[in-house]
């Protein structure tokens, strides 16, 4: 799997990100299901850690800090960076303006 989103840019962990407004998140025992009402795409989060990362994005100044808050650091980080790149490539998550800080929805 590539660390690059569909745009061809590497996923930047140091930028602020959030879920797209048109994405619904449904927790499941194994993790969660995401559904994008605009693209009609479904994604599967395979564990609760990635769910915590994704749902925490909007409340952190960067994806890296959302990962840290969910306990994802060091050698675990690249796998989550790839997952975030995939989610960005399919518009499930998007960059948000760096400032002012977006209020949690």
Residue 105 interacting with other proteins (CB under 8 A): no
Which of 94, 78, 66 lies closest to 6, judged by CA? 94
Peptide bond into 66 cis (omega under 30): no
Residue 22 interacting with other proteins (CB under 8 A): yes
Distance CA(23)–CA(41), nearest Å, equals 9
Least separation, in Å, of the C-beta of 99 and other proteins? 29
Which tokens go with 43? 């994604």
What is the residue whose two structure tokens read 């590497």?
A: 10
Which tokens go with 67? 């990962």
Distance of CA 81 to the CA centre of its chain: 9
Task: By CB under 8 A, name the one of 35, 68, 69, 96 that touches other proteins.
Answer: 35
Q: Total residues contacting other proteins (rule CB under 8 A)? A: 32
Residue 26 interacting with other proteins (CB under 8 A): yes
Task: By CB under 8 A, name the one of 2, 7, 15, 46 that touches other proteins.
Answer: 46
Residue 24 interacting with other proteins (CB under 8 A): yes
Q: Can you give the binding site for other proteins, defined by CB under 8 A?
A: 1, 22, 24, 26-31, 33, 35, 37-47, 49-50, 79-80, 82-83, 86-87, 89-90
């Amino acid at each position: 799997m590539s660390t690059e989103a569909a745009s061809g840019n590497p996923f930047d962990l140091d930028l602020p990100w959030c879920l797209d407004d048109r994405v619904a998140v449904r927790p499941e025992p194994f993790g969660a299901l995401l559904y994008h009402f605009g693209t009609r795409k479904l994604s599967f989060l395979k564990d609760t850690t990635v769910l915590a990362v994704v749902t925490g994005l909007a409340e952190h100044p960067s994806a890296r800090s959302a990962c840290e808050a969910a306990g994802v650091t060091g050698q675990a980080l690249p796998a989550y960076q790839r997952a975030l790149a995939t989610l960005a490539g399919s518009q499930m998550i998007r960059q948000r303006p760096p400032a002012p800080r977006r209020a949690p929805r």
